[in-house]
Amino acid sequence: MKKILAFSGSNHSQSINQSLINVAASKVSKHEVTVLDLNDYPLPMYGLDVQAQGFPESATKLRELMSGYDALIIASPEHNGSMPAFLKNVIDWLSRLTTPGNPFFGDTVKPVLLMSTSPGPTGGATNIKTMAELMPWWGGEVKGTYSLGGFFDKYTDGQFDQETDRAISDVINTFEATI
Ligand SMILES: Cc1cc2nc3c(=O)[nH]c(=O)nc-3n(C[C@H](O)[C@H](O)[C@H](O)COP(=O)(O)O)c2cc1C
């Protein structure tokens, strides 16, 4: 049994990507999953001068925590076709605490499932394509991607419609089989 860490790349209190990650995590059945809230690890905006004053405790804690997992599921919002500054900031801090060439996840390459959702039709797929391209550089091996458009048409009272729910189950089943 592998240990999966699941988190969204959002700092929105009503994050729809957090809703997606919560449902996705609830589908994990063959491995152990932990849902992390990145907001519990507040970080200042990365800068070389800020780093020169020392690493924030949240950055070292997060780095240590992540190294204890075998696989990641990330649901990222899309801001202007890219990942939100909030998530990029976390990546930038983590990258300064790991070995060069494998900046995000540390010394081992980890399997990653990339997910996203948005109210719009593409569901954040533009950003997920870019993140998938960058992931090998960050030390992750992308095993699957899933973008859900039209979030508010498909999610009511804390639940996805049947078709969407089934699609998320399929994505998680496939991911679980590859790790
Ligand atoms: C600054 C900004 C830029 C956005 N750009 C996009 C975009 O490029 N594509 C998209 O699908 N949605 C975009 N949106 C809408 C987000 O998908 C929406 O705010 C969503 O709730 C973000 O996910 P979250 O709730 O998990 O943070 C943008 C929202 C903001 C605030």
The pTM (predicted TM-score) of the whole model is: 0.96
The answer to whether the CB of 35 falls within 8 A of the CB of 25 is: yes
The answer to whether the CB of 40 falls within 8 A of the CB of 107 is: no
Q: Is 176 in the pocket of ligand 1 (CB under 6 A)?
A: no
pLDDT at 102: 60
The answer to whether the CB of 115 falls within 8 A of the CB of 145 is: yes
Q: Residue 105's domain is classified under what CATH number? A: 3.40.50.360
> Cα 42 to the chain's mean position, in Å?
16
Q: Residues with Cβ < 8 Å from 124, sequence gap 6 or more?
A: 17, 76, 77, 78, 116, 117, 118, 147
Each residue of 123-165: pLDDT tens digit? 999 999 999 999 988 889 999 999 999 999 999 999 999 999 9
Q: Which of 178, 121, 105 is nearest to 144 (CA)?
A: 178
Atom of ligand 1 nearest to the CA of 19: 26
Integer-rounded Cα Rg, in Å, for the chain is: 16
Q: Domain range spanning residue 22?
A: 3-178
Atom of ligand 1 nearest to the CA of 75: 26
**Alpha carbons 99 and 127: distance in angstroms, whole number:** 25
Q: Is 76 in the pocket of ligand 1 (CB under 6 A)?
A: no
- Expressed in angstroms and rounded, the spacing between residue 62 Cα and the centre of ligand 1 is 25
Number of structural domains in the chain: 1
- The pair of structure tokens assigned to 75 is 């649901």
Atom 25 of ligand 1, nearest CA residue: 15
Q: Is 19 in the pocket of ligand 1 (CB under 6 A)?
A: no
Amino acid identity, position 113: L
**Alpha carbons 96 and 83: distance in angstroms, whole number:** 19
Each residue of 3-58: pLDDT tens digit? 999 999 999 999 999 999 999 999 999 999 999 999 999 999 999 999 999 999 99
- Expressed in angstroms and rounded, the spacing between residue 136 Cα and the centre of ligand 1 is 25
Q: Evaluate the CA torsion angle 171, 173, 178, 179 in order and state its sign.
A: positive
Atom of ligand 1 nearest to the CA of 14: 25
Atom 19 of ligand 1, nearest CA residue: 118
The answer to whether the CB of 107 falls within 8 A of the CB of 99 is: yes
